Amino acid sequence: MHCGADTVGAAVNQKQLSASMASAEKVPLSDVDAIAKAESIQEACRQRDFVALVTLATSTGGLLTDELRRQASQHRPSQSTQISTGGDRYPVTRTRIKYNLMLIVPLYTTLKSDESEQSLGQKKAELFELIVSALRSYPILSYFQSYHDVVQVLLLVLGKHQAMPAVPRISLLRLRDYMLPTITPATKHFELVSAVVMAADPELANHIAQAENIFALSATHSLFAHDIYDYGDIARLYDFLLAHEPIMSIYLFAAVTISRRSELLEMPADQSDILTFVISKLPQTFNIDARIQDAVTLFRHHPPQRLPGFIWWRLSRYSVLKTSRCIKQPQSLEEAEILCRKQIQQLHSHELMRKRALVLYRYRKPAASMTAVILVGIFSIWLRKTGHDRILWSMISTATTFFSTLR
């Protein structure tokens, strides 16, 4: 079994997935349970017990506090490697980054209501520095609009010092498919969401089949940070997502979609625009712990290799969903960068083949005529060189004489 599945096996309970997954209830931790769990987290950190940390991050409440999250992050398996230095230049998207950071000031206020105006300004400057530093170090990565949503969660939870090495790692080992020159690899992620829903609930999948697959864009490429505004909720959600392989965000979105089964089935199937909009917006009341358990159960019952439509096998072998599956033995940043370059080369090759196929299709009639002329010419040369042209002309002459006599 794949090591990614091993960590899921250690975390998931054995309850069966319900038909709609909407009946799961959140069970808050009591003070006694919270204290006991905090002690378990600290013990797992001391013992460097990664499997135990995965289980604790997946269970109700996650890692509980930012202090415990910072402790756990220091004990995650990682390759000791020096961050690349791609140069001193700012990325060409510097203005775009600054514009997007202007938009997140209200989000900071929502996430941490106790932050002062001065503190928020400092956090925004630190966020800008984290983003630019990562893109300077790895210019092969392309900035995307919700990238700052992910980075700000790391900054708020870990602080600038611990977030500095964490940002390149999450970029190369989790977000890489979204940071390529084109969105083509990301569209495969959206198809995976539909495949998971089809495997678990064919009736619902057929009902929403007319909706555009991009309904998962906002949530999946920002790891839900763009759509969840409560700081405690998004921090708890990241406990889970970062403890599992990257594809778990796909299963989580599928679990959320299935949990809304009754609501979606009441909507007309032919109104694809409305369906796409509704599915793309997470429900206001988002029971994170229940959906996490549903996502883990979905993963166990419908692993990526067995999803319908062979979607997993049609995914690039360089996709981050395939190359970052083993959380217990992660790749180094150098290895991830090499895979990123190979994936970009593959994209360029596929794009070149697509353009050539389009040109051939556009000029298919002239090309067919030219091919026929060339074949006739080659055949004529062959006849002359072999002497068969005399036999051919003799046959033509005989046939002409015969038909002339019939007249």
Q: Which helix (H) or strand (E) holds 34?
A: helix 31-47
Inside any domain, residue 402: yes
Residues 6+ apart with CB under 8 A from 284: none
Residues 261 and 288 occupy one common structural domain = yes
pLDDT of residue 290: 94
Residue 112 resides in a domain: yes
Torsion, Cα of 46, 52, 58, 62 (10° steps): -20
Token code pair at residue 171: 């970029």
DSSP string, 338-355: HHHHHHHHHHHHHHHHHH
Shared-domain flag, residues 67 and 173: yes
- Do 203 and 114 share a domain, yes or no? yes
Q: Are 361 and 354 in contact (CB under 8 A)?
A: no
377 lies in the same domain as 261: no
Indicate the residue type of 173: L
Q: What is the DSSP string of 190-253?
A: HHHHHHHHHHH-HHHHHHTTTS-GGGGHHHHHTTTTTT---HHHHHHHHHHHTTS-TTHHHHHH
| Residue 85 included in any domain | yes
Buried b (16+ CB within 10 A) or exposed e, 113-124: eeeeeeebeebb
**220 and 168 belong to one structural domain:** yes
Q: If pLDDT is split at 50, 70 and 90, which confidence band does 14 have?
A: very low
Domain of 169, in residue numbers: 3-354
Token pair of 29, please?
């931790």
Mind listing the pLDDT tens digit for each residue in 57-101?
Answer: 999 999 999 999 999 988 776 544 444 545 444 454 555 555 555
| pLDDT more than 90, % of the chain | 44
What would you report as the CA-atom Rg of the chain, rounded to the nearest whole angstrom?
29
One domain for residues 348 and 375: no
Domain assignment of residue 121, yes or no: yes
C-alpha to C-alpha distance for 139 and 121, rounded to whole angstroms: 26
Tell me what percent of the chain is helix, strand and coil, each rounded to the nearest 5: 70, 0, 30
Average pLDDT of 317-326?
A: 93
* Residue 183: predicted pLDDT: 85
In this model, does residue 281 exceed pLDDT 80? Answer: yes
Most confident of 2-16, 131-145, 277-291: 131-145
Regarding whether 81 and 28 lie in a shared domain, the answer is yes
347/374 same-domain check: no
Per DSSP, 311 falls in state T
Cα 57 from Cα 44, distance rounded (Å): 11
Q: What is the pLDDT of residues 239-274, one digit of tens each?
A: 999 999 999 999 999 999 999 999 999 998 888 888
| Interacting residues of 346 by C-beta distance below 8 A, sequence separation 6+ | 316, 318
Above 60 in pLDDT, residue 131?
yes
Instruction: Choose the weakest-confidence range: 97-101, 144-148, 227-231.
Output: 97-101
Q: Give the C-alpha separation, 333 to 85, whole Å.
A: 12
| Spatial contact of 119 and 111, defined as CB atoms under 8 Å apart | no
- What are 67's two structure tokens? 């202090």
Tokens found for residue 150? 């992910």
Q: Which residue would you say has higher pLDDT here, 101 or 289?
A: 289
Is residue 170 in some structural domain?
Answer: yes
Q: Is residue 231 scored above 90 in pLDDT?
A: no
Identify whether residues 198 and 301 lie together within a single domain.
yes
Q: State which H helix or E strand residue 402 sits in.
A: helix 388-406
The CATH number for 254's domain is: 1.10.8.1310
Q: Provide the pLDDT for residue 406.
A: 61
CB 332 within 8 A of CB 62: no
Query: What amino acid occupies position 348?
Result: H
End-to-end CA distance of the chain: 83
CA 51 – CA 11 distance, rounded (Å): 8
Count of the separate structural domains present in the chain: 2
Q: What is the pLDDT of residues 349-401, one digit of tens each?
A: 877 777 777 766 676 667 667 777 787 778 777 767 776 666 666 666 666 66
Residue 6 binned pLDDT confidence (cut-offs 50, 70, 90): low
359 within a domain of the structure (yes/no): no
Higher pLDDT pick, 229 / 293: 293
Residue 13 lies in a domain: yes
Amino acid letter for position 152? Q
- Both structure tokens of 233: 């909720």
106 plus 128 within the same structural domain: yes
Residue 92: per-residue pLDDT: 47
Mean pLDDT of 178-190: 88
How do residues 210-226 score in pLDDT, each as one tens digit? 877 677 777 888 899 88
Q: How many CB atoms within 10 Å of residue 89?
A: 10
The whole-number pLDDT of residue 85 equals 47
Lowest mean pLDDT among 10-19, 43-52, 195-204, 284-293: 10-19
Query: Is residue 164 a contact partner of residue 114, using CB atoms and an 8 Å limit?
Result: no
Q: What's the whole-model pTM score?
A: 0.78
Residue 314 in any domain: the answer is: yes
Residues 396 and 313 reside in one and the same domain: no
Residues 180, 233, single domain; the answer is yes
